[in-house]
Amino acid sequence: MGIRERLSGNEAVAIALKQINPDVLAAYPITPSTEVPQYFAQYVADGEVDTEFIAVESEHSAMSACIAAAAAGGRTATITSACGLALMWELLYVASGTRLPITLAVVNRALSAPININNDHSDSMGARDSGWIQLYSENNQEAYDNYLMSLRIAEHKDVMLPVMVCQDGFITSHAVENIELIEGEKVKNFVGEYVPKHSLIGGEPISIGPYDTPQFYFEHAYQRAQAMINSKKVILDVSKEFAALTGREYGLFEEYKMEDAERAIIVLNSSAGTAKGACDLLRAKGEKVGVLKLRVFRPFPLEELSKAISHLKAVAVMDKADSFSAMGGPLFTDVRSACYDLKTRPHIINYIYGLGGRDVRVEDFTLVFDALKQVVVDDRPGEIYRHVGVRGVQ
C-alpha cells in the first residue's frame, strides 16, 4: 500500500530524489524549479540523504559538475528551468555524447525575451535534438513516477543516455494535489544500485570526452542514435515493471476516448487535463472526439502514434512552443511526419497556445474541436499554422 500525501509537483520530485539518494546533486536556483534543490538541501542538512550536494555558481556549472560526477561513476542529478536550461546548452550535448545517464528535472518555463517566468515548453523543446530522452508529466503523480522510472531508463546498458523529466511550471510545480508515494525501501529496490561498466575511477583506465577525429565521431553519433532507438523498448519494459509495483500504468502516450473518435487533440503535460474536460463536454453532446496525451517525446513514438491516429478524420496538434519556422511548432512537425507513410491520413493542423503562461481554458479546446469539425466538413485542413488564445486573432 502506497503512502497517501498532498504535495506540489516540486515537492514530489524532491521526495523522489530523496528516496533515490543520488551520489551527487548539483544545482543552481531558478524560478519555478528553485524549490526542488531547496527542499533537497534541507534533506542533506538534516542527514536524510548522504548525497554530495554542490551549490554551484550557474546552471552551466551545474551540468559540468554532473558530467564530472557521472564520468567518475556516480549516480547524478540536477534541476532547472528556462534560461537555466539554455545556459546548459553546450553541456547537454556533452552529457549525451559521452553517454552519461544523468537525470534532469525540468520545470518548464518560457524563454526570454521579453522576460517571463511562467509556463510554456520553449525550454525543453529547444533541447529536443540534444540527445536527451524526454518524458512529460500531466500532473504531480506522473512527475514523481516519471522521475523514479527515469533512473532505470537512463542507466540501462542498452541506453546509457541522460533523461529530462518535464512538468509545467507553477501549474503543477506549485499546485498541491493528492499523490501516492511509494515506500522508501520499495523505491530503493526498484531503482537498484548504479554500477557503471566504465568510469574514470577504478578498473581499466579510460578517457571520457576526448577530441573525436573524423575517423571516429560519426560512429559515436551513430551509437548515440541507436541508443535512443533502444530506449523505446526499455521505457515500455520499465513502465510494465512500475505498473506491477504500483498499479499505475504508463505507455509512450495515453489515449483518452480514442476508440471511436473521429477528431482528436494531441497535447503534452498539464494541458491534457483541460483537453480531457473539453472532450467530456462534447462527448456528452454525442460528438466523437478524443485526446492523445504524449508522454514520451524523445524517442518519438513514430509507428505507435501514427497507428493510434490513423482512423481519425482530423487532428489538432497543440504546441506550447513555437519553432518560428513559419510552418508550425515542434510537436506538430513530428506528428505530421509520422503520418506521411499512412495509406489514409487524417487532416492535421497545428495550434500554438499558452505561450508565456497564457491561460488555456476548456473553452479554448472546445474551439479547437469545433475547428476540426469544419476541417472534416470541408475535407481539407485549410490553414495549418494557427494560434488560439491570442488577443485580436480569431
* Cell numbers found for residue 152: 532505470
Torsion sign, CA atoms 184, 235, 355, 266: negative
Residues in the chain: 394
186-214 pLDDT, tens per residue?
A: 999 999 999 998 899 877 888 888 899 99
* Average pLDDT of the chain to the nearest whole number: 97
Confidence (pLDDT) at 394: 75
Say if residue 87's pLDDT is above 90.
yes
Q: Indicate the helix (H) or strand (E) that contains 94.
A: helix 89-97
104-136 pLDDT, tens per residue?
A: 999 999 999 999 999 999 999 999 999 999 999
274 forms bridges with which residues in the sheet? none
Q: What share of the chain in percent tops pLDDT 70?
A: 100
- Domain 253-387 classification at class level: alpha beta
d(CA 10, CA 34): 9
Reported confidence tier of residue 272, pLDDT bands at 50, 70, 90: very high
Q: Indicate the helix (H) or strand (E) that contains 71.
A: helix 59-71
d(CA 314, CA 381): 8
Q: Indicate the helix (H) or strand (E) that contains 284.
A: helix 271-284
Residue with cell 548515440: 224
329-364 pLDDT, tens per residue?
A: 999 999 999 999 999 999 999 999 999 999 999 999
Confidence (pLDDT) at 202: 76
Strand 314-319: give its sheet, edge to edge. Answer: 253-256, 289-294, 263-268, 314-319, 347-352, 385-387
Looking at domain 3-246, its CATH architecture is 3-Layer(aba) Sandwich (3.40)
d(CA 144, CA 20): 11
> What global pTM score does this model have?
0.97
Confidence (pLDDT) at 306: 98
Q: Judge if 3-246 and 253-387 fold alike in CATH terms.
A: yes
The residue extents of the domains of the chain are: 3-246, 253-387
DSSP, collapsed to helix, strand or coil, labels residue 348 as strand
38-64 pLDDT, tens per residue?
A: 999 999 999 999 999 999 999 999 999
